[in-house]
Amino acid sequence: MRVLVTGGAGYVGSITVRHLIEQGHDVLVLDNLSKGHRQAVDPRARFTVGDIADRPLVAGLLRERGIEGVVHLAAMIEVGLSMTQPVLFFEQNLMGSLALLHTMIECGVHRMVFSSTAAVYGKPECTPITEDHPERPISVYGESKLYFERVLARYHQILGFRYVAVRYFNAAGAWQDLGEDHRPESHVIPRLLQATPEQPFVIFGSDYPTPDGTCVRDYVHVADLAAAHGLALERTAQPGAGVFNLGTGNGHSVQELVACASRIVGRPLAVRHAPRRPGDPAILLASPVRAMETLGWRPRHSALENILKTAWEWRQSHPAGYTG
């Protein structure tokens, strides 16, 4: 299939691009490089620098390249920043996505895989979280993603637009020569692996109702997420729509992360404790049953040790990230 991947120079995007190419797809990447890295784009993909909100540019790419489906990953992702600069998130994640969607429909492209997030659920009423759990996002980031999911649902209902939304939990790990390089880094595992005595890793809260008092999260390897995007793209060949959680159903506490990372690094990692952060649930676990049963997806690379090992190996080979 001829596929456009938006945000294909980013962390999950670049690894998804590589997976799609290795599955035999003809891939075009569109990324404005505000967060992504040109070096992360697989050389076998065609690459255009640009923004999803640039409708003439997107229309030209869709028509000239004969695009049949879109994997949409371009987004602002920093939860904390979304609560101080909400306009950026609604402009990019909602308005930009609407521009992309309308251009697709105008050009006769009616298949999308949308990269969503577990942040649409907010504080869970129960775990593991199924796709039927109430959607009550507590961040602008989660809300911006949920709004666009609702647009897709209406467009499917009224226009027959085919889509799959994948809500992933904690993306982590590295794949081959591709890894995680955000500026600034907001994800827990890279921050842990970068910890120094001068800038220790901060554990927010050690009095949660969990076995060791620290938060428990569901970590899924980025290569497994990439595979899920490929399966979701296949799913859009059929009439219909779907929403799927991507996680393992297994949780690991922050203390477990620290202990496992210390073993892999071969030394104790510098940490310090701080009070809880507002809005952090004690436990967030996915129910991946629907993705497994419907898409045939399996998280094959998501053992915690493998996640941390691949992330550490990538950090060792890219000490300054993609710019080093």
Residues catalogued as catalytic: 141
Other CB atoms within 10 A of residue 292 CB: 14
Contact 81, 88 (CB under 8 A): yes
Q: Which two tokens stand for residue 17?
A: 């691009």
One-letter amino acid at 80 equals G
Q: Which two tokens stand for residue 122?
A: 């907010």
Closest CA to 16 of 50, 40, 48, 46: 40
Is the omega angle on the peptide bond into residue 184 within 30 degrees of 0, that is, cis?
yes
Task: Please list, in sequence order, all residues whose beta carbon lies within 8 angstroms of the beta carbon of residue 225, skipping any fewer than 6 positions away.
Answer: 12, 15, 16, 166, 168, 171, 246
Angle at 245 between CA 241 and CA 248, to 5 degrees: 145
Q: CA 168, 173, 174, 180 torsion: positive or negative?
A: positive
Contact 4, 71 (CB under 8 A): yes
91: helix, strand or coil: helix
One-letter amino acid at 321 equals G
What is the rounded CA–CA span in Å between residue 291 and residue 116?
Answer: 14
Angle at 234 between CA 233 and CA 237, to 5 degrees: 100
The distance from CA 81 to its chain's CA centroid, rounded to whole angstroms, is 16
Q: Which two tokens stand for residue 242?
A: 């779907």
Place of tokens 């050690």: 206
